[in-house]
Amino acid sequence: MSGRRGSGLENELFGITFANPVLLAAGTCGFGEELSDVVELDRLGGFVTKSVTLEPRGGNPAPRVTEFRAGMLNSIGLANPGARDVLRTKLPWLRDRIRRARVIISVAGHSASEYAEVIGILDPGEGFEGFEVNLSCPNDTRLGGLPFALDPDAAARVIEAVRPRTQRPLIAKLAPNTPDFGPVIRRLEAAGVDGFTLVNTMPGLVLDPESGRPVLGAGPGGVSGPALRAIGVHAVWRAAEYTALPLIGVGGIAEGEDAEQYLMAGASLVQIGTASFWDPRTAERVLKGVERAVTRRPGGLGTLVGLARRSGAAQQPDAPAEAAVENHV
Ligand code: RRO
DSSP for 125-142, written as a single string: --S--EEEEE---TTS-S
Question: Ligand 1 centre and the CA of 88: distance in Å?
Answer: 23
* 3: in domain: no
Closest CA to 107 of 73, 147, 143, 80: 80
For the chain, percent of residues with pLDDT exceeding 90: 86
Q: Give the separation between CA 246 and CA 312, rounded to whole angstroms.
A: 20
DSSP state of 247: E
H or E segment and range at residue 173: strand 170-174
Question: What does 180-234 look like in DSSP terms, one character per residue?
Answer: -HHHHHHHHHHHT--EEEE--PEEE--B-TTT-SBSBTTB-EEEESHHHHHHHHH
User: From CA 324, how far away is CA 220, in angstroms rounded?
Assistant: 36
Q: Judge if pTM exceeds 0.85.
A: yes
Does 124 reside within a domain? yes
- Cβ of 51 below 6 Å from ligand 1: yes
Q: What is the pLDDT of residue 316?
A: 53
- 63-105 pLDDT, tens digit each: 999 999 999 999 999 999 999 999 999 999 999 999 999 999 9
Q: Is the CB of 250 under 6 A from ligand 1?
A: no
**Rounded Cα distance, 45 and 39, in Å:** 13
Following DSSP, what letter does each residue of 6-58 receive, concatenated? TSS--EEETTEEESSSEEEPTTSSTTSGGGTTTS-GGGSSEEEPPPB-SS-B-
Looking at residue 104, what DSSP letter applies?
A: E
Q: How far is the CA of 47 from the centre of ligand 1 (A)?
A: 16
* 318 occurs within a structural domain: no
Closest atom, ligand 1, to C-alpha of 75: 3
Known catalytic membership, residue 29: no
Confidence label for 2 from pLDDT (cuts 50, 70 and 90): very low
CB 28 less than 6 A from any atom of ligand 1? no
User: Is the N-terminal amide bond of 199 cis, ω within 30° of 0?
Assistant: yes
Maximum CA extent, the chain: 57
Q: What is the dihedral of CA 53, 56, 62, 65, to 10 degrees?
A: 30
* pLDDT at residue 170 tops 70: yes
Is 74 near ligand 1, meaning CB less than 6 Å away? yes
Total tally of structural domains belonging to the chain: 1
The CATH number for 274's domain is 3.20.20.70
pLDDT for residue 143 is more than 80? no
Cβ burial of 180 (10 Å; 0-12, 13-18, 19+) is exposed
Indicate if ligand 1 lies below 6 Å from the C-beta of 222: yes
**Does residue 180 contact residue 148 with C-beta atoms inside 8 Å?**
no
Atom of ligand 1 nearest to the CA of 201: 11
DSSP 88: I
What separation in Å is there between the alpha carbon of 310 and the centre of ligand 1? 33
pLDDT band at 322 (very low <50, low <70, confident <90, very high): very low
Over residues 191-210, the mean pLDDT reads 98
Which residue among 29, 107, 198, 201 is best mutated to probe the pocket of ligand 1, counting the most ligand atoms within 8 A of its Cβ?
Answer: 201
The answer to whether position 231 is within a domain reads yes
For atom 8 of ligand 1, the residue with the nearest CA is: 137
In a domain, 1, yes or no: no
Judging by DSSP bridges, how do beta strands 202-204 and 221-224 pair with one another?
antiparallel
- Residue 20 domain-assigned (yes or no): yes
Question: What is the predicted pLDDT for the residue at 311?
Answer: 74
Give a yes or no: residue 86 inside a domain: yes
Active-site annotation holder among 54, 86, 98, 137: 137
Residue 319 has pLDDT above 60, yes or no: no
CB atoms < 10 A from the CB of 257, how many?
13
pLDDT at 4 over 50: no
Determine the distance separating the centroid of ligand 1 and the alpha carbon of 221, expressed in angstroms: 8
Domain limits at 22? 11-310
Confidence band of 276 (pLDDT split at 50, 70, 90): very high
At residue 329, the pLDDT reads 65
Please classify residue 308 by burial: count the beta carbons closer than 10 Å to its beta carbon, then call 0-12 exposed, 13-18 middle and 19+ buried: buried
Has residue 133 been placed in a domain? yes
